[in-house]
Structure 1
């Protein structure tokens, strides 16, 4: 990695990618491999994978839960296959456990039929299970009336993946600046000026992949002003090792199509640990990882945002918000949610683990943006919503953004 003095007055590159997470680094990888552009990645933290790219479950989602023909479906199915190949080539831990999606009632069983149809259309392998006995053959402690088993779901070490990407982009000639927080973005006649915590950058083209702060930077140049990131914290518990047999693979609830959050579920990670979660509670700051953390300015920004206030006019969303808040502050409520899938789990089986924050984009009309959203300009791409499954999709999604930038450069 190139080391620069703080006294350096101005750094210049053809392309600046703001954000050194899995999406930003994937863009850098594909752009450097396909072009001779001078590419820089600016990451505000000194350590990579400090936020969304490292604080997730590490699951590769094979694509049965996404509408056929959608960006999510295409990126997830292709991304799962490519990620497995990448992990194998770079010696990154990856375990293909499979996932069991459990239906607890007739409505959820009908939803499984829809998931099966989507799996067929998206080319995702699955097995439909129509009895408790069949469910127990896969997961002895899971309980439900029906399930869908997708064997291609896998767990990877997310941090090792990000660091493998970083090593690769450096070898491709990309300059990776860590500890460079982009504080102000300004249009110039030749492109963009980036004021950072360690100096100024002048660049011809920009990729804004700043995750939790992508909307803030975009708004500084008049992009995406009809959207705002609302941070939702997801908290995980770990099943104590002597009770890890409660989940042998992954156990998921049947998803609610009206919500972007899956709900509490079980994941056996690549390292063999079993985690339970996450909930989805409003975070009192974009990096408020503990339920005692508070950033007054960012919380005020959220609470006064028109789109957030409209979102809460939905009685369903209010109910969900109350339930999720209870799970954050009352372990007993989290345990109750966990027991819906695995009744044998007890409070003493669960130890508090880590938390992540999801950069959920909300529109001014109060809608949760559920699909990937990037806004193009002649010399920029702003990734406003790299929504779940962001890590799963990162290789094809990053390649798509890189191709878009390359085409703009050649135009």
Structure 2
């Protein structure tokens, strides 16, 4: 039996940020339990690595606050810890009048959130930033950056350890039970007893929360996002980041271009239902988890929307038909051809869906007297991880150190 004051389940960017901030503020004996032997194996490492400066989020929202603060703090953190981070800027391109009107909305949000921006009103102005991009207008945010997310997670782990946190890797938490004083956690390497708990288990956070009666009105529905890489000799087609104009009705941005800190240009992701919470290939199936998704009332209600059904079909086509993926890519950069794209990696987004079929778009955590359950560390989770983790740490510290 192992004992600590606090157990944090999940060693991703949020869980490790909570650990770091908790150790900085308290004398608590903190442990992080990560089921994989390597950190950043899931959402924290399988992403585009983009720092989103906060222009795409409603003023006053948690997303806006955490993204704007998180971008600035992450850049400073990367500089302090020698983590690759390039401030490249992002170009959000409008291809028709409806999308151009939405750029004005982005500008209003950027203004309210204190995010630097520039509106470009012609094809020529766009090409001054991205010579191969195509559109009739664009929104340029110079503060957007590209970061090596895996190195960032490992830096957080090193710092947490230096502050006295015990980081257990290869410890999968299978069961959480309430005990006389706190919680009993069964793991693949033994049992833990702790007075306080933080559930930051990402793709499995809802499953663990449900074991203690928390968040039962929500369930994670896994969406896979697949990336292609532009062949090195064609990587000049994107010099920074090129994004489509977001649809406010959808939580997924759509296929876009990102130049990474290693010089590679990735294209994607799509957003297709994953047939398992860690089904990273479109041939991977976890029958139990797929059945869990398909029988969830919230998921069925979500697909009852004609918009979501049409989007689901389009995204599925991009997953199994490279030509469809290439066609989506060409809307932003017409010179890209299917043969320029090589299959790369995939990530899975832990999208929380409510029982009434609504996509939960804001960060969501549920507090108990001796616990915090992070049910929805929704995008931009990487960008927001430092202020979000600090916020969770402050909430827990206030409960257990009074």
Query: TM-score over 0.5 for the alignment?
Result: yes
2:72 is aligned with 1:72: no
Relative to the length of structure 1, the TM-score reads: 0.98
CA distance in 2 between counterparts of 1:111 and 1:357 reads 28
CA RMSD of aligned residues (A): 0.4
1:350 corresponds to which of 338, 341, 350: 341
Aligned to 2:185: 194
Aligned to 2:328: 337
Aligned to 1:313: 304
2:99 is aligned with 1:111: no
1:133 corresponds to which of 121, 124, 128: 124
Q: Secondary structure at the match of 2:2?
A: strand
Aligned to 1:244: 235
CA distance in 1 between counterparts of 2:215 and 2:259 reads 37
1:265 corresponds to which of 247, 250, 256: 256
Aligned to 2:224: 233
Aligned to 2:369: 378
Aligned to 1:177: 168
Alignment of 1:1-400 (within 5 A): 10-400=1-391
Cα deviations by residue, 1:75-128 (Å, 9 ceiling, x for unpaired):
000000000000000000000000000001111111000000000000000010
Q: Secondary structure at the match of 1:64?
A: coil
Q: Secondary structure at the match of 1:101?
A: strand
Q: Secondary structure at the match of 2:5?
A: strand
Number of residue equivalences: 402
Q: Secondary structure at the match of 1:48?
A: coil
Deviation at 1:214, TM superposition (A): 0.1
CA distance in 2 between counterparts of 1:304 and 1:342 reads 40
Q: Secondary structure at the match of 2:4?
A: strand
Aligned to 1:6: none
Cα deviations by residue, 1:22-49 (Å, 9 ceiling, x for unpaired):
0000000000011000000000000000
CA distance in 2 between counterparts of 1:74 and 1:366 reads 26
5+ long unaligned stretches in structure 1: 1-9
Relative to the length of structure 2, the TM-score reads: 1.00
CA distance in 2 between counterparts of 1:226 and 1:258 reads 22
Deviation at 1:410, TM superposition (A): 2.5
Q: Secondary structure at the match of 1:222?
A: coil
CA distance in 2 between counterparts of 1:235 and 1:354 reads 6
Deviation at 1:189, TM superposition (A): 1.6
Cα deviations by residue, 1:166-191 (Å, 9 ceiling, x for unpaired):
10000000000000000000001200
